[in-house]
Amino acid sequence: MTIEQIKSTFDVEIAACKNANELQELKSKYLGKSGALTSLLKSIKDLPAEERPIFGSKVNELRKQMENRFSSKGEELFAAELERRLREERVDVSLTSCSHRGALHPITLVENQICDLMIAMGFEVLSGPEIETDYYNFQALNIPYDHPARDMQDTFYITDNILLRTQTSAMQARVMERKKPPLKIVCPGKVYRSDSDASHSPVFNQIEGLVVDKNVTLCDLKGTLEYIAAHLFGPQTKVRFRPSYFPFTEPSVEVDLTCSNCGGKGCSLCKETGWIEVLGAGMVNPFVLENCGIDSGKYSGFAFGIGVERVAMIKYGIPDIRLFYENDLRFLKQFGK
């Protein structure tokens, strides 16, 4: 091929180049080791000596032109590629509706909210097994085999000594055996009871709180619960203790909050009382402390167990606990905002 021929096919081919790969191929086709221009240079030896310098400088001139074309074409292709990507990969941040966005389950929302409040107060979050031994669920908590308190919780037994935990209180002895005071822990998790109606589910969620230290009093328990209640239901929420009984706390209390629906005036949600019962609590029974090797003369503690579904039902005005587990999108979508 003559210089002119090479030049004109090159012009056509480089103009048709569509991307960086093609350009690279073209470059080796013309300027590579066995490229067209290189073979042209090699043919210089067949020319008469006086023509060689002119021919050589023409070839070099062409090489320079080609190199310039390659670099300008390269820039052109790069800019076009960038332009294409900016166009095609554009994200419209102004889009307001996205039909497939997920949302947290209301139980998860409430559980996270309570745990976050506890973390802010310096509590450590721990989790334990749902399949539990009779020892941790009952005996370590001062509930021996023949204790009538076992009737308060209809237990799913797996064997005589293994069961589905009926309360997150099962974590109390587990933790106190391993960790020594001062301790401030919170244990969220599932618990199981053979019970089912509009306000009871065979599986539900509790959050256990446990504090053991020197000089812990019922006032500390009340202050902690008031802080949680104020953040869950608003600063005007009042906390009331009523005497109760749990084998593992002494004294024991049922904790009521002023009804978030009527503000304490009385309505159908609070059965006209102005108060809603939300959890059980008390001072850790010295028997439980001693059982775990903690000196009850030196240390005291409080514990409480919150029913997560119960709080969520009050907070969102949900009339039936079963709505939480049916996974009806019309229900769940309301919490996605």
Residue ranges that bind ligand PHE, judged by CB under 6 A: 167, 169, 246, 249, 280-282, 303-305
Distances (CA, A) of 199 to 106, 202, 245: 16, 10, 21
Shortest separation between residue 194's beta carbon and ligand PHE, angstroms: 14
At closest approach, how far in Å is the CB of 90 from ligand PHE? 54
d(CA 67, CA 179): 75
How near is the Cβ of 146 to ligand PHE at its closest, in Å?
A: 20
Q: How far is CA 120 from CA 124, 125, 326, in A?
A: 10, 11, 33
3-state secondary structure of 323: helix
- The nearer residue to ligand PHE, 27 or 193, going by C-beta atoms, is 193
Least Å distance, CB 281 to ligand PHE, is 5
Scan for tokens 């005589």, then name that residue. Answer: 160
Which residue's CB atom is positioned nearest to ligand PHE?
A: 305
> Vertex 130, ends 127 and 135: CA angle to 5°?
100
Nearer to ligand PHE, 167 or 258 (CB): 167
CB nearer to ligand PHE: pick between 167 and 260: 167
Look-up of token digits 């721990």: 126
Backbone torsions φ then ψ of 187, nearest 5 degrees: -125, 100
In terms of DSSP bridges, do strands 239-246 and 131-133 run parallel, antiparallel, or are they unpaired? unpaired
Distance CA 61, CA 33 (A): 18
Smallest gap from residue 285 Cβ to ligand PHE (A): 9
Q: Which is nearer to ligand PHE, 246 or 299 (CB)?
A: 246
Nearer to ligand PHE, 23 or 166 (CB): 166
Please say whether the beta carbons of 276 and 256 come within 8 A: yes
In angstroms, the CA 61 to CA 75 distance is 22
Q: Which is nearer to ligand PHE, 274 or 301 (CB)?
A: 301
CB 109 to ligand PHE: min, Å: 21
Burial class (CB in 10 A: 0-12, 13-18, 19+), 288: buried
Q: Is 301 in contact with 211 (CB distance < 8 Å)?
A: yes
Least separation, in Å, of the C-beta of 308 and ligand PHE? 12
Closer CB to ligand PHE, residue 37 or residue 255? 255
Nearer to ligand PHE, 66 or 110 (CB): 110
The answer to whether the beta carbons of residues 278 and 306 sit under 8 Å apart is yes
Q: Could you tell me the smallest distance in angstroms from the CB atom of residue 305 to ligand PHE?
A: 3
AA letter at 249: T
